[in-house]
Amino acid sequence: MPDQVLDDISHRRYNPLTGSWLLVSPHRTKRPWQGQQEAPLKNVLPEYDPKCYLCPGNQRAQGDSNPLYENTFTFVNDYSAVKEQQQEYNPEIKRDDIAALLLQAQPVTGRCYVLTFSPKHDITLADMAASDILPVIQTWTRIYASHLSATHPLRAQADKTLSSIPANQDGEVDRPKNQLRYMQIFENKGAAMGCSNPHPHCQIWTTSTLPEEPGKELVQMAKYLSDNGRHLLADYVRLEVEKQERVVWQNDTFVVVCPWWAVWPFEVIIIAKRHVRALVDLTDEEQLHFAEAVQEVTRRYDNLFETSFPYSSGIHQAPLDCTEEEAETSWFHMHFYPPLLRSATVRKFLVGYELMAEPQRDITPEQAAARLRSCGGKLYRKLLK
């Protein structure tokens, strides 16, 4: 265990991935709660919903119809956050122009996809076996590979990996006309995280710019590699596996930990044990290992409070268009940010001090990891049937 005194005193912890700090206040878990409570999430959904925009065969909001898909299905988001074609924006920058200095804007183009995990409307990743999640991993890999630049350091590896992945007949995507810089794969699960449709799905946004969060991580990892001659996450994985204090689960390829710097109560990160730069670096066996890790996280989440646990998750990996240095600096990992704190009805809010000063948490990552370690086993709702 870390210094036992940290279990009882307020202290700050450093996040080496972003270069930021957060406040930890473990003594606050004893305070009474009279604030907002979320309604318990009960799974009363049908396997097929004729009104769902994502179910097989149904018509979507803008008139297109979904195929009768049997596995995953990918399509361009009907309400994309970015578009491939838009009006040009190249403002003239004048010397000593205060407005140009303070009121900066940058055009962003790209393409947004929706990817369904299953034709079944009433399940989540927690309900799916690793073998059923594998096609999702393979589809992520196929879409990432298809968007890589022609000169990308991983281009040859991507072509090799694609040759071993079965083609998906439902929702194959074509390559954008213009090369894009980054691909963010993410899932918002549950109404508490803003999910507008309960059908199991994720989103994939590709943009012409490098977003803030993965950008900050790349800077920090590059600096650590330059200063120490080793990869930041390689050292961190080695440290966590050695200490075991925050490890939730691991297999030969991945480790799941509640990171030392976690902001959300039961936040976890899935990290590759070897230097995996992106999805295309994973072997067939390692793809299944990644599916196992995702399944373990989502099942343990649901078992923790016996509810369909809300979260936002996302993959960070090498950019779509990058230098050799950026590719080699990248280390494949997946973040999970869940809001629930004490029960299925009490959630954490990032407000007040956290908006004005810095993030703060109550339960320590060590305590959270211990709780999640105890939540293995069969999914709770399958025992109720």
* Binding-site entries: 28-31, 52, 55, 61, 77-78, 121, 188, 194-196, 199, 203, 217, 316, 333, 335, 348-349, 353-354, 360
Q: Which of 179, 174, 212 is nearest to 76 (CA)?
A: 174
Q: What is the DSSP letter of 208?
A: S
CA distance linking residue 124 with residue 116, whole number of Å:
10
CA distance linking residue 273 with residue 130, whole number of Å:
19
201 is catalytic: yes
CA distance linking residue 137 with residue 332, whole number of Å:
13
Q: Which candidate in 201, 231, 275, 289 is catalytic?
A: 201
CA distance linking residue 378 with residue 299, whole number of Å:
8
CA distance linking residue 271 with residue 350, whole number of Å:
25
Residue with tokens 């990918």: 74
Q: What is the three-class DSSP state of 61?
A: coil
Does residue 66 contact residue 58 with C-beta atoms inside 8 Å?
yes
- Tokens found for residue 37: 């409570």
Does residue 264 contact residue 337 with C-beta atoms inside 8 Å?
yes
Residue with tokens 């988001």: 77
Q: What is the three-class DSSP state of 337?
A: strand
- As annotated, the active-site residues are 201
